[in-house]
Amino acid sequence: MADAHVHTPPPANEAVRSYAPGTPERASVQARLADLTDANTEIPLVIGGKPVMSANLRPINAPHRHELVVGRHVTGGVKETQAAIDAALAARPGWASTPFKDRAAIFLRAAALLAGPWRDTVNAATMLGQSKTVQQAEIDSAAELIDFWRFNVHYADQLLAQQPGSDPTAWNRMEYRGLEGFVFAITPFNFTSIALNLPTAPALMGNTVVFKPSRETLLVCHFLMEVLRVAGLPDGVINMIAGDAVQISGQVLADRNLAGIHFTGSTGVFQSLWKTVGNNIAKYRTYPRLVGETGGKDFILAHPSADQTALTTAMIRGAFEYQGQKCSAPSRAYIPQSTWKRIKADLAEQVEGIPMGDIADFRNFMGAVINEEAFKKHKGAIAYARGNARSSIVAGGRTDARQGWFVRPTVIETTDPSFRLMEEELFGPILTVYAYPDKDFDRTLDIVDQTSPYALTGAIFARDRAAVIKAADRLVHAAGNFYVNDKPTGAVVGLQPFGGARASGTNDKAGSPLNLVRWTSPRTVKETYVPPMDYRYPYMADELPT
Ligand code: NAD
């Protein structure tokens, strides 16, 4: 074997395409969207590199068109879950001994395939399955996932370069091993990039994975598993399973070889996984690493010195893009009464004018919410606000389930900063505003900090620098991603590493070295050149004659 000290190529963020009328990318993604709309794709499990089909198929309907079945997926049970665990364990020795540069090359090739020939397929599948506009699909399933794959390679390389010191008697080294066992990746519906980052980040570090995506993302995950296969990922390194989440998780968490969980989703589910691991702790071969990015109740706080137009735009884009179903979407806003008086009518007018509908119609800014359960939850929250003396509907407040799960972008005003909708995560297009007395900025900082158990994202809007300093200081634990004069969504890999604390997660910052470090169990090696030949130390020698 020839030796070289290889460096991975420096990463750059993938450019986001515009899809404006007349552009070639618009025509090509529209053509792919039309193909996939009619394809009724069959989605197998992928175990040991082989597609697992069955007669037992479950339909996936487009959220914006109930009657449209975009795919039918295999539902696995106990047998398939065990097969996925076994396949991950069988692939582990070969993958763990594959040199880093070769593992990295597979993910760099996957990034290039996604940036080029697979981009339209993956974007179109995300649009159909998750009801994303082309813009929202492009920044997620294309740009962010490409960035995850390229930047993670770079960060892993930096991590491997971290080595201890040596002296003339011995050479010390750190070897970055994968964890002993397999990693379980459980992923949410709302980001394709997260769905694939969670299994691939541990895989890059030498781990093999059982991957359970959210049902709503199975169409796009099916294509991305194919991208990884074409890129050269060996059989069994990532095994995709679908079915009853509780059964699958219960079985996987009972396996003594569970070495880690890479989770993104709701706080309650992560806490239940943590409890199960706690109950099983004596059974495991090693302490499983628990990484979870979970819920949020993200905020926008405005100071009386805030720029009103920037504030209004941030509230609309932040709260309503992708129907408010971003973990980072602001769902509570604290606006000084004087500012609120000036922006309220304009905000309401803009929100009422937001175009919403089928994502195949590129004039729309919003699609449908993900499923009936979400729709009912949002409808219930709006009804609660409408019937409450402490709140009123400023804009939106209408729902329509005839063709799809459509919830109009809704702004609610409350006179009570502890109003239920200021505290609970709804994960939909509902923004609740509390207009605070201008003189109470300091008191409002405490309210923002203490109103919810979460601490994911938040933003301060102010021209006054002293207000920015004060907010950044007082809200130091209220958000893992804090924005000054910007909406609190849209974090970019390599620029704003993402994650929150408190009930929002373990804050291991996806797309950064801090995340990758969780998927490695380093071994320190000391190699001594001339070992001692006598156990006795000099101090033990006979005393000198006096
Ligand atoms: P979810 O918790 O319902 O589901 C996440 C995953 O867990 C899915 O694969 C699901 O099938 C599985 N699951 C559901 N119930 C389970 C159970 N009882 N046992 C084991 N697995 C189970 O979350 P979701 O609705 O897909 O996503 C929305 C949530 O994710 C929101 O709370 C949002 O804030 C959060 N989120 C957080 C981040 C972040 O970075 N902090 C990012 C995206 C989404």
DSSP symbols for 224-265: HHHHHHHHTPPTTSEEE--B-HHHHHHHHHTSTTEEEEEEES
Counting ligand 1 atoms within 8 A of each CB, the residue from 269, 377, 378 with the most, and so the one to mutate, is 269
Pocket flag, ligand 1, residue 187 (CB < 6 Å): yes
- pLDDT at position 546 is 85
Q: What is the pLDDT of residues 293-311, one digit of tens each?
A: 999 999 999 999 999 999 9
| pTM attached to this predicted model | 0.98
Nearest CA to ligand 1 atom 8: 214
Q: Which atom of ligand 1 is nearest to the CA of 216?
A: 26
Q: How confident is the model at residue 55 (pLDDT cuts 50, 70, 90)?
A: confident
Rounded distance between C-alpha atoms, residue 501 and residue 479, angstroms: 7
Q: Which atom of ligand 1 is nearest to the CA of 189?
A: 26
CB atoms near residue 73 (< 10 Å): 24
Q: Which atom of ligand 1 is nearest to the CA of 456?
A: 41
Ligand 1 mean position to 284 CA, how many Å?
24
Pocket flag, ligand 1, residue 297 (CB < 6 Å): no
Nearest CA to ligand 1 atom 19: 246
∠ CA 77-121-14, rounded to 5°: 110
Give me the sign of the Cα torsion angle 128, 130, 135, 138: negative
Ligand 1 mean position to 39 CA, how many Å?
28
Mean pLDDT (the chain, rounded) = 98
Pocket flag, ligand 1, residue 33 (CB < 6 Å): no
As a whole number, mean pLDDT of residues 411-422 equals 98
Nearest CA to ligand 1 atom 23: 265
Nearest CA to ligand 1 atom 9: 214
Ligand 1 mean position to 375 CA, how many Å?
16
Q: Annotated catalytic residue: which of 144, 216, 221, 327?
A: 327
What are the helix (H) ranges across 40-174?
78-96, 100-115, 119-130, 134-137, 145-160
Pocket flag, ligand 1, residue 265 (CB < 6 Å): yes
Q: What is the pLDDT of residues 490-527, one digit of tens each?
A: 999 999 999 999 999 999 999 999 999 999 999 999 99
Facing residues of 177 across strands?
Answer: 521
pLDDT of 488 strictly over 90: yes
Nearest CA to ligand 1 atom 28: 265
- pLDDT at position 268 is 98
Mark whether 293 is an active-site residue.
Answer: yes
Counting ligand 1 atoms within 8 A of each CB, the residue from 131, 214, 261 with the most, and so the one to mutate, is 214
Q: What is the pLDDT of residues 517-535, one digit of tens each?
A: 999 999 999 999 999 999 9
Ligand 1 mean position to 438 CA, how many Å?
38
Pocket flag, ligand 1, residue 294 (CB < 6 Å): yes
Kindly state the percentage of the chain with pLDDT values over 70. 100
Ligand 1 mean position to 214 CA, how many Å?
8
Q: How confident is the model at residue 166 (pLDDT cuts 50, 70, 90)?
A: very high
- pLDDT at position 14 is 98
- Provide φ and ψ at 314, rounded to 5°: -65, -40
Nearest CA to ligand 1 atom 37: 294
Ligand 1 mean position to 198 CA, how many Å?
13
pLDDT of 473 strictly over 90: yes
As a whole number, mean pLDDT of residues 134-142 equals 98
Ligand 1 mean position to 359 CA, how many Å?
23
As a whole number, mean pLDDT of residues 98-104 equals 98
The rounded Cα 258 to chain-centroid distance in angstroms is 22
State the amino acid at position 510 in one-letter form: A
Pocket flag, ligand 1, residue 444 (CB < 6 Å): no
208: left (phi over 0), alpha (psi -120 to 50) or beta: beta
Q: Annotated catalytic residue: which of 293, 321, 424, 425?
A: 293
Is the CB of residue 36 less than 8 Å from the CB of residue 128?
yes
Ligand 1 mean position to 196 CA, how many Å?
14
- Provide φ and ψ at 168, rounded to 5°: -65, -15
Pocket flag, ligand 1, residue 245 (CB < 6 Å): yes
Q: Which residue from 508, 510, 451 is spatially nearest to 478, judged by alpha carbons?
A: 451
Q: What is the DSSP string of 454-517?
A: EESEEEEE-S-HHHHHHHHHHTTTT-SEEEESS-S----TTTS-B--EETTB----BSSHHHHG
Ligand 1 mean position to 185 CA, how many Å?
11
Helices 119-130 and 218-231, interaxial angle, to 10°? 160
Q: What is the pLDDT of residues 426-461, one digit of tens each?
A: 999 999 999 999 999 999 999 999 999 999 999 999
Q: Which atom of ligand 1 is nearest to the CA of 248?
A: 20
Nearest CA to ligand 1 atom 18: 246
- pLDDT at position 330 is 98
Pocket flag, ligand 1, residue 140 (CB < 6 Å): no
Pocket flag, ligand 1, residue 248 (CB < 6 Å): no
